[in-house]
Structure 1
Amino acid sequence: MPKRSYLSPKISPAARITAAIIEKLEVGTKPWIQPWRGLPVSRPLRSCGTPYRGMNVFWLWMMAQENGYSAPYWMTYRQCASLGGQVRKGEKSSIAIFYKSYTKEVEAADHGEAQEETRRVLKSYAIFNADQCDGLPERYHPTAEVLDIEPEGRAEELDQFFARIGANTREHGSSAYYEPVADRITMPPISLFDGYDQFCATLSHELGHWSGHKSRLNRDLKNRFGSAAYAAEELVAELSSAILGAELGLPVGHLDNHASYIASWLKLLKKDDRAILTAAARAEEASNLLLSLGGYVQQESGELSDAA
């Protein structure tokens, strides 16, 4: 098997992640789609139990799926040792990314005097999945539970969550879409979906767009199909719906997988290796807004600042 280009430590973290996602998209796979259900938590977790944010979510999902890891926990070598565990000999590390801020003295263009400027640089550090470690406490290897597809009361809970968000939504026709001018989401009737979960997953995607309205997160939504800005916004909605799916236990594998969308994302990512990081950061903002409006209680973030 040829060595994957994104495994090289010589390239930057952004380029490494982008190369990996491009490789998946080129064979028609969306790496942020997670088909499994039954685990107690779907987001990747730090050793302390707090969830990763931003691009780390999608990157670690991809690494787990590619390597067959089922544990949601990730940790550094030292963290593993402090928990009484040991990374097995020969195991290869993955990376997590974060932004580190620093100040630099620069000369002002207008008057020539030096002034301090705050900048951020993307950094990475090595981590291992709990499945790569021996001797960890049992809680780091949670067992999957058999869950009903539609457990009793679930539909009512989801109804209440989406109702609290307060988006102007109507059921009409056979297509799902968001209209920025009218600030309205149109959804096909529930009867046209295979299940209520899939209706909610599609609604989550459209709410991703809804979050970008000028009265909320103020993203540019006036873009034509085929433009880079349109592709970027679709990517934000895709990623934000994946995060909502992880938090609410919704399937997202059935969402639009048209070749035209994948082609537009490939064009975007090949032109800018930080585009996926930007989209993930905006998706994190969008999902945080929607989860907050819906009354969903999220765990606090950890010590390091994710690349979000």
Structure 2
Amino acid sequence: MAKSTDKLSPADIITNTIIDKLEAGVRPWVKPWRPGLGGRPLRATGDPYRGINCFWLWLCAEGAGFNSRTWMTYKQAQALGAQVREGERSQIAIFYKSYSKTVEPVVTGDTTDEMRRVLRSYAVFNCDQIDGLSADFYPSRMSMVPPADQLPERAQHFVDALPIKVQQRGDRAFYDRIADSITMPPVELFSTRAFFASTLAHEAGHATGHPDRLNRSFGKKFGDDAYAFEELVALSGQSAPSPTLQ
């Protein structure tokens, strides 16, 4: 349900994005990986965002696969000697405050205090969209995989031989039928490489339904019979026990 954001208010943009996520299907599974961002989004000063900005900027970072927690304006990046890369798209951050103002009605002349509210948005970029910042703005992901953990030879061969594009980014595992590609969280976010391979096998099960392969119906909506059957098909191809049901 893509909508133009040209004339939408900040509240409308955030609300519509949340609705789109819900319509895509909220799945009650436990992910075998941990988010890589960690903590609240940060301003250029290092101070954490509060309120709806926490949820909103986390949602934006998750969708884009950003690793950095820090967001800043174009001017803040330039002040730090850095440059937003050409073509990068900004996100909105919300500024909100309430204050009391003393007013004097012309008719009565009696002064009263009225509560006023200010709500506006401004454009920010994630540090992963900016070149030239200091290394502190580009944190490395902490690997959750034990150093000695390795896949069995057959499982590694399966991962290496998949005839489909696999990209590691973000915090979601899914198969994109239009692009015919699989997106996975980085292997470092999984507790074991076996969980990574298991989740990848599940998404590869979905990929078998592509029109150039088995041409299977994927189901039009989360929760319908075809969608449930598709999940069973993908689950049957999972090569190791895993709680994910993407």
TM-score by length of 2: 0.50
Counterparts of 1:255-270 in structure 2, within 5 Å, are: none
Q: 1:92 aligns with which of 71, 78, 89?
A: 89
Deviation at 1:146, TM superposition (A): 1.5
Aligned-residue offset at 1:121: 2.2
- Across the two proteins, how many residue pairs are aligned to each other? 144
**Where in structure 2 are the equivalents of 1:1-308 lying within 5 Å?**
4-5=2-3, 8-29=5-26, 37=34, 39=36, 41-102=38-99, 103=101, 105=103, 107=105, 113-147=110-144
Give the Å deviation of 1:36.
5.7
In our comparison, the structure showing a higher alpha carbon Rg is: 2
In structure 2, relative to structure 1, the CA distance for the partners of 1:36 and 1:100 (3 Å cut) is farther
Write the deviation string for residues 23-59 of structure 1: whole angstroms up to 9, x where unpaired. Answer: 11112238xx998637474321111212111111110
Give CA deviations for 1:172-208 in whole Å, capped at 9, x if unaligned: xxxxxxxxxxxxxxxxxxxxxxxxxxxxxxxxxxxxx
Q: Is the 8 A contact 1:39 1:142 kept in 2?
A: no
**Cα offset, 1:10, TM superposition:** 1.6
Distance 2:25 2:57 in 1: 19
Q: Match of 1:115, as an amino acid?
A: T
Query: Residue 147 of structure 1: CA displacement?
Result: 3.1
- Alpha-carbon deviation of 1:148? 6.6
Q: Give distance in 1, aligned partners of 2:20 and 2:35.
A: 28
Change (3 A) 1:35 1:80: farther
**CA offsets 1:104-161 (integer angstroms, 9 cap, x no match):** 73759xx784523121122111100001111111111101112379xxxxxxxxxxxx
| Cα distance change on mapping 1:19 and 1:41 into 2, 3 Å | same
Mapped to 1, the partners of 2:69 and 2:111 lie a distance apart of: 47
Contact preservation (8 Å) 2:95, 2:120: yes
> Any idea what the Cα deviations from partners look like across 1:260-303, whole Å, max 9, x if unmatched?
xxxxxxxxxxxxxxxxxxxxxxxxxxxxxxxxxxxxxxxxxxxx
What letter corresponds to residue 68 of structure 2 in structure 1?
A
Q: Percent sequence identity over matched residues? A: 48
Conserved? CA contact 1:80–1:87, under 8 Å? yes
Query: Using a 3 Å threshold, how does the CA distance of structure 1 residues 12 and 40 change in structure 2: closer, same or farther?
Result: closer
Q: Distance in 2 between matches of 1:26 and 1:12?
A: 21
Higher relative contact order, structure no. (Cα contacts within 8 Å, ≥ 6 residues apart): 1
User: Quick one: which amino acid aligns to residue 26 of structure 1?
Assistant: E
**Runs of 4+ off more than 6 Å:** none
Amino acid at match of 2:82: G
With the length of structure 1 as denominator, give the TM-score of the two structures.
Answer: 0.41
Gaps of 5+ in 2: 147-222, 224-246
User: 1:34, 1:8 → 2: CA distance?
Assistant: 32
Q: CA RMSD in A?
A: 3.2
Q: Secondary structure at the match of 1:100?
A: strand
- Once residues 97 and 71 of structure 2 are traced to their aligned partners in structure 1, the CA distance between those partners, rounded to angstroms, is 20
Change (3 A) 1:115 1:74: same
CA displacement 1:189-235 (0-9 Å, x = unmatched) = xxxxxxxxxxxxxxxxxxxxxxxxxxxxxxxxxxxxxxxxxxxxxxx
Change beyond 3 A, Cα 1:56–1:116: same
The amino acid of 1:100's aligned partner reads: K
